[in-house]
Every structure is written in C-alpha cells, then in structure tokens.
Amino acid sequence: MAGRFETLPDGGAAVALDEVEISILRSLAVQLMELIGPGDEPAEDADPLAALFAEGPSEPPADPALHRLFPDAYADDTDELRQATAEFRRFTENDLRTRKRDDAHAMVRSLDLAAGDTAGEGGGILKLSPDESRAWLGALNDLRLTIGTRLEVTDDEESEQLYRLPDDDERKPMVMAYLWLGTLQESLVETLMP
C-alpha cells in the first residue's frame, strides 16, 4: 500500500504515509488555501439570502496559477464571448473558490488527525471516507495544476522532460512533489472507480 491508495469496504480509500509525507502534503494544502484566498465573499453579518446571490469578480486572476484554477469559460476572444466569460466568472468563481478551499481544508483536517494518531510512530495508514476521498481528489488536482503552472508545464512532452532534470536544478524539489502528487492522484482515481 505504500504510496498508493487502496479501496476501503465503505467506498473510501486508505494510503500509508510517513511523517514526512504527511508534513509535505499538509504544507502544500495550507499553501493552496492561502493562494486561493477568500475571494470576494460577503461580510459575515450579511443577509444569508443576499450572500447566496453575491456576485464575484468579473476579471480573471492576474496570477497564472490562480487563472489555471479559475479559468475563463470561453477561449475565443470576441467582445460577446469576453462579456459572457465575465458574467460566468461573476456568478461562479466565489462558489468554486469555496469548494477548492473546502477540499484543501478537508485534506489538512484528515492529515492532522493522521499525524495525531501516529505521533511518534513515523507515520501510518490514513483512512478516508468516500466524501473525504472526493475532497482529496479535488485538492490533489488543484495542487498539481498549481505546481504544474509554476513549473510552466503545458503538455505531456514537457512533463516527460521533468523526469530528466539534474539533481542540482532548483526546480527539482517542486518537480518531485508534482510527480508524487500525480501518482497519489492516479491511485485515488483508480480506487474510486467502480
């Protein structure tokens, strides 16, 4: 099971992680939550009905990683489609930010529980419910998209070149995380498929 998810009888998933892996995953998930940020959310004391219909930003994020996480709805660059893209973003981005933050937060919570359960043991088996597994899948995907954007990976050929980086390349730790997250994501997808 080391490094690969396996199916649990309840439809969830389990994976063996050591203390270092738990720490790395937790750190990456916290950084993802910080990157995503709160977005344009209504004030806490706002009317709940008004909050439900709150509008988000209409402009795409300037940060390339955030733009990858919150892409434009339409690729064509006509006035009509630019307006439709802005409208789509305005009505969907806040909810998407919330879901992505919730997924990363679910990852942090389960890792904190695993770290507490295995304190002093060097790691252990992380067991996720079906809902937690889906949240993890979303968080792993978002982490890979973010790191891939930072590494400027745009196609499979560039991804293959990452395997051949020399050990002294400053991108190597980020590349190793990117590849490891891909392995985790792939095994979790396989686990969740019926």
Alpha-carbon torsion, ordered 80, 92, 110, 14, to 10 deg: -60
In this structure, is residue 163 part of a structural domain?
yes
pTM of the model: 0.86
How much is the average pLDDT of 169-191?
93
In this structure, is residue 73 part of a structural domain?
no
53, exposed or middle or buried, with CB in 10 Å at 0-12, 13-18, 19+? exposed
Q: Structurally, how many domains does the chain consist of?
A: 1
In this structure, is residue 147 part of a structural domain?
yes
How much is the average pLDDT of 109-135?
86
In this structure, is residue 84 part of a structural domain?
no
Residue 82 to residue 70: CA distance in whole angstroms: 15
In this structure, is residue 72 part of a structural domain?
no
- Report phi then psi at 7, rounded to 5: -75, 140
Q: How many CB atoms lie within 10 A of CB 65?
A: 18
In this structure, is residue 67 part of a structural domain?
no
Which range (12-21, 81-90, 114-123) has the least confidence? 114-123
How much is the average pLDDT of 110-118?
82
In this structure, is residue 77 part of a structural domain?
no
How much is the average pLDDT of 107-129?
84
In this structure, is residue 129 part of a structural domain?
yes
Which range (24-38, 79-93, 126-140, 178-192) has the least confidence? 79-93
C-alpha gyration radius of the chain? 19
* DSSP secondary structure letter of residue 70: S
Residues spanned by the domain of 165: 12-41+96-192
CA triplet 167, 107, 194: central angle to 5 degrees? 95
Give the pLDDT band (50/70/90) at residue 53: low
Residue 103 to residue 59: CA distance in whole angstroms: 24
